[in-house]
Chains A and B, each alone.
Chain A
Amino acid sequence: MAMTVGLSDILLISPMIALFLMSLVPITIKVLRGNQEQPALATLAQALIGAVAAIGLLLVFGGPGKTAFNNALIFDGVTQWMGIIAIASAGASMILMYENPSTKGRQFSELMFLSMNSAVGMLILVSAVDLLMIFIGLELMSLALYLMIAMSHEEKISKEAAFKYFILGSLASAIFLYGTAFIFGSAGSTNILSFMAEAPRLIGGNLLFLYGVCLVMTGFCFKVSIAPFHAWTPDVYQGAPTPHTTFMATAVKVVSFAAFLRLIATKSLVGSPHLFDMLQWLAVITMLVGNVAAILQNNLKRMLAYSSIAHSGYLLIGIITAGVSDASFFGASSVIFYLLSYSIMTAGAFAIASMMERSDAHVVNIEDMAGFAKNRPIMALCFAIFMFSLAGIPPTLGFFGKFYLFTAAIGEGLLWLAIWGVVNSVISVYYYLRPIVVMYMKEGEAELAPHSLNATMVTVIVSAVLIVILGLVSGPIFQAVEQSLF
């Protein structure tokens, strides 16, 4: 097979190239300065320039139906939206890294280098339509992330978290690769586009293909923490430095769902009713496990970790909807819109947690937030907005995310999943209200950490404003998402 690389291919992957080149800047400067850190703000600025450049290039060169490298990468609406959401969340996490006690200071250049390379992996992942490319993206993203967690200043728990994440993540990758082999053996290709047309037929008749799809999906379920493959999530989210947790809970989850969406777009679910049933039950179990376990948590980060598991469950409803709807892109758009809202509110909530950490070993419990509303009224209000939005109370963005998701599900006849979804929303209200109760209704002396937090504060306020404003104009945004998918 002759492989030619044209200019269009290079232009299409220019976001990744830009991001990679910018990632070299901080470490090169460090080497040239004789292993002396440049000011951290300069490093952060270089990283953010890279992120903005990547978003810009993605918008300029991407477009419907554009593919690169012999259909291995595609730059359609899904890539653009998911890429922008992921890079923006990664940027927000980098801002948190700049001010969090367990990540700032020493080795910041290396940390930025790794984060940006993880982001390159994300861009590969959102644009990949070849299972092997997906694997490469997944590994590039994850390997950088393992290192990032392991190099935290905190000595014990984060090392454990990194190790746990590494072992389980590698297992998931192995399962994924195993499934890819099955698919290659039965469909004759690893490219999703090339076996897309026959997938519904193959999955009904060819057991090997069915195994392959199941194994690949299991790999995804690990990555996006669908129960019962979620057990690593709370430990890793709790143990990792909060900015890295933000990174994992937003950007990594967004791109993993993007790849999941690529596989589900083959309509394999239509051909296999058992797989279809199975995924529905996984969605229900995930929502229940996440929400019920979150009620029991006292540690703020662990509570948010379980909440993010629950949100994976809601998102799986959207994924299933996208997998069975025939003509429309309603399901896929609702997933993208939900990821947009989920990323903003989750990033905001973790940013508040990050601001309260006084040292690299400081654990923030929910009860520690007592009196926060009195001492920091604006930050408390923002946190309340994030919680109400995560709970899906109108008129926040989170409500509209759920509204579109459930509307799409009901439109495809998945009424019972939508009912499970709203029942779980009610359960979740209980634990999302708890921090608000503590902040506003209990006496205490909660304060932010004493060091400078201006950049994180800006991130929080921007997220809160976005949640309110985007909630009110959610209609046009949703329409834009949907139109970009055609």
Chain B
Amino acid sequence: MLLTAIVFLPVLFALLVMIWPRERSLRHFALGLSLIEFILSLVMLRDFDPATPALQFVEKQMWIERFGIQYFLGVDGISLWLVLLTTFFAPILILGSWTSIEKRIRGFHACLFLLQAAMLGTFLAMDAVFFYVFWELSLIPMYFMVGIWGGPRRIYATVKFFIYTMSGSVLMLIAIIYMMYLTQEGLGHMSASLLDFYQLKIPFVAGTVLSLQTLLFFAFSLAFAIKVPLFPVHTWLPDAHVEAPTPGSVILAGVMLKMGTYGFIRWVIPLFPEAAEHWAWLMLLLGVIGIIYGALVAMVQPDFKKLIAYSSVSHMGYIILGLFVFNSYGVSGGLYQMLNHGVSTGALFLLIGMIYERTHSREISKYGGLAGVLPLYATFFFIVTLSSIGLPLTNGFIGEFLVLMGTFQSNPGFAAAAVLGVILGATYMLWMFKRIFFGEKGQLIMEADHPLKDLSVREIAVLVPLVILIFWMGVMPNHFLNYSKTSIEHLVNNRTNYNLPLPGQTPAAPTEAQ
């Protein structure tokens, strides 16, 4: 019941905020609800057993019997932290949007909760069709969030986001249906359960694109690559980020992009091991191009929200790099980097939102000398910047280090290129920091009719948990990685015949399909 509660309580919350009688206390109410959800996920963390790679808190019910589609939820070391990341961000977002969202606050909070439910469902669903339902459902609240509360070009951005993402995922639907027929041939009964998919041995022929496993691999990869977003299908992201309201950007960067990388680690790599290995060079190459290209483009952005958006493209490249070297350093680094990127980029977008609320401008050239005016703000911004460029003692360092170490083991060439991205990352972030906070006082700071106010108590309350996490994850990564270690090692060691056992079950031997 725990996972059902975690996934579906936010749906109930969305209804509750719609009917909550008093608009003035709506935000307090929503904050309370999101804290309940977070505590619930902490209960899951407390009862989670890190020693087994098996799925835990499993809930399994037949949903559509005719096709063996199940209501199937479960969590393991790979999805555990992503679930917590999602529930952790909801209260932060509600607190962070306290003053920035002014119209239709009811609808906004309902969208937020629906989005949370859809993302949690994506991370916890263990049945392909069930997963797909959540995967697509997450588009709708995000679409409204950007389209209603976004910036001037919001309609273009949100329609682009919706169509771009959907065009990637429809081929995945076809691939899922095809695999359901493969289970019928291979296992004798039609099933959409991920565990049954893992049992399949899908024929693979190297050297041709027209082999079954390769085609399915690309059908799934396209959906996930667009979500990540991987170069060259990243072009929706800068638009969506720039036009989205602050909470939209935070949730997009913080959690939604991770649905793509999660898809790779949960679906693509274990389901199509031979194809993944054969085409790893392509993914690595695109990852590295993304790292360097994202960094270079970020460097020349005049708008700092766009700069952070392109830095996301760069950072997500590391995650892909880590996942597709298939060793435990790389994969755990990739997984850790998912959390890091969520925390640091989420924090950066929150900080950008805070200054935007004060000045209503995002042009770097109009700032300058902000450190003298807003010292507290500058301090927080500096800490988050350091985390984003991966300074030791911050979370970013651990993730990048593990990824690069894993990549060196198998692919020194790609690792060398990726290191270049680290340097570029430091360059554009620090350069931006210098232009905004130091030097001559900029046009906006001089012209401000009333003096800019430093962070309020509420804003500090939003940022402090993130800063604590940045250091906690940077100094004691084992507190986090220990929970995922068994699952990651299980994946790395059994990549070609991966199997997720249910509690108290020994993995069955894979069977031949066709």
Contacts and interface: CB of A to CB of B under 8 A. Distances in A.
Interface of A: 388, 393-395, 399, 403, 406-407, 410-411, 415, 418-419, 422-423, 425-426, 429-430, 433, 437, 440-442, 474-475, 478-479, 482
Given A403-B129, A415-B178, A475 B63 contact: yes
A193 to B, nearest CB: 28
Contact of B64 (A399, A415, A422, A474): A474
Chain B interface, DSSP helix/strand/loop, else mixed = helix
Contacts of B140: 388, 393
A394 B154 contact: no
Given A426-B170, A429-B162, A437 B129 contact: no
Contacts of A422: 170-171, 173-174
Nearest to A438: B155
Chain A interface, DSSP helix/strand/loop, else mixed = helix
A429 B171 contact: no
Interface in B131-171: 132-133, 136-137, 139-140, 143-144, 147-148, 154-155, 158-159, 162-163, 166-167, 170-171
B133 A395 contact: yes
A474 to B, nearest CB: 7
B144 to A, nearest CB: 6
Given A426-B167, A437-B155, A479 B66 contact: yes
A429 B170 CA distance: 12
Contact of B66 (A410, A430, A442, A482): A482
A426 B178 contact: no
Given A393-B136, A440-B148, A441-B155, A419 B171 contact: yes
B69 interface: yes
Given A394-B133, A433-B162, A475-B65, 19 more contacts: A393-B137, A395-B133, A403-B129, A406-B177, A411-B181, A418-B174, A419-B171, A422-B170, A422-B171, A423-B170, A426-B166, A429-B162, A429-B166, A430-B159, A437-B159, A441-B148, A441-B155, A475-B64, A482-B66
A349 B180 CA distance: 33
A478 B66 contact: yes
B162 to A, nearest CB: 6
A415 B173 CA distance: 12
29 contacts: A393-B136, A393-B137, A393-B139, A393-B166, A394-B132, A403-B177, A406-B174, A407-B67, A410-B174, A411-B181, A415-B178, A418-B174, A419-B174, A422-B170, A422-B171, A426-B163, A426-B166, A426-B167, A426-B170, A429-B163, A429-B166, A430-B159, A433-B162, A433-B163, A441-B147, A441-B148, A475-B64, A475-B66, A475-B69
B181 to A, nearest CB: 6
Instruction: Indicate the member of B66, B69, B139, B143 with the most A CB atoms within 10 Å.
Output: B66
Contacts of B69: 475
Nearest to B64: A475
Query: Across chains A and B, which 3 residue pairs bring their CB atoms closest together, nearest first?
Result: A475-B64, A422-B170, A394-B133
B65 A395 contact: no
B272 to A, nearest CB: 18
Contacts of A437: 147, 155, 158-159
A475 B163 CA distance: 28
Interface of B: 63-67, 69, 129, 132-133, 136-137, 139-140, 143-144, 147-148, 154-155, 158-159, 162-163, 166-167, 170-171, 173-174, 177-178, 180-181
A406 B63 CA distance: 19
Nearest to A482: B66
Nearest to B178: A410
Contacts of B174: 406, 410, 415, 418-419, 422
A327 B294 CA distance: 55
B142 to A, nearest CB: 12
A11 B266 CA distance: 58
A441 B170 contact: no
A328 B448 CA distance: 74
Contacts of B133: 394-395, 399
Given A403-B129, A437-B147, A441-B154, A410 B170 contact: no
B136 to A, nearest CB: 5
Instruction: Indicate the member of B64, B65, B67, B140 with the most A CB atoms within 10 Å.
Output: B64
Nearest to B135: A394
A226 to B, nearest CB: 23
Contacts of A475: 63-67, 69
Contacts of B167: 426
Contacts of B139: 393
B163 A410 contact: no
B99 to A, nearest CB: 22
Contacts of B178: 410, 415
A79 to B, nearest CB: 22
A78 B132 CA distance: 31
Nearest to B170: A422
A410 B67 CA distance: 13
A232 B326 CA distance: 58
A291 to B, nearest CB: 13
A345 B132 CA distance: 22
Contacts of A410: 174, 177-178, 181
A467 to B, nearest CB: 14
A345 to B, nearest CB: 16
Contacts of A393: 136-137, 139-140, 166
Contacts of B180: 407
Nearest to B164: A426
Nearest to A425: B170
A403 B180 CA distance: 12
A406 B67 CA distance: 13
Nearest to A478: B66
B94 to A, nearest CB: 21
A444 to B, nearest CB: 14
Contact of B137 (A394, A418, A423): A394
Contacts of B66: 475, 478-479, 482
Contacts of B132: 394
A407 B67 CA distance: 9
Contacts of B159: 430, 433, 437
A420 to B, nearest CB: 11
A318 to B, nearest CB: 14
A285 to B, nearest CB: 20
A156 to B, nearest CB: 35
A430 B167 CA distance: 11
Nearest to B171: A422
A324 to B, nearest CB: 16
Given A411-B181, A415-B178, A479-B65, A440 B144 contact: yes
A407 B163 CA distance: 23
A418 B177 contact: yes
B170 A478 contact: no
Contacts of A411: 181
A65 to B, nearest CB: 23
A482 B387 CA distance: 58
A478 B64 CA distance: 9
Contacts of B170: 422-423, 425-426
Nearest to B168: A426
Contacts of A423: 170
A478 B63 CA distance: 12
A410 B171 CA distance: 13
A281 B276 CA distance: 35
Contact of B177 (A407, A474, A478): A407
A430 B136 contact: no
Contacts of B136: 393-394, 399
B214 to A, nearest CB: 15
A419 B172 CA distance: 11
A271 to B, nearest CB: 26
B157 to A, nearest CB: 11
Contacts of A388: 140
A442 B166 CA distance: 23
B156 to A, nearest CB: 10
Contacts of A479: 65-66
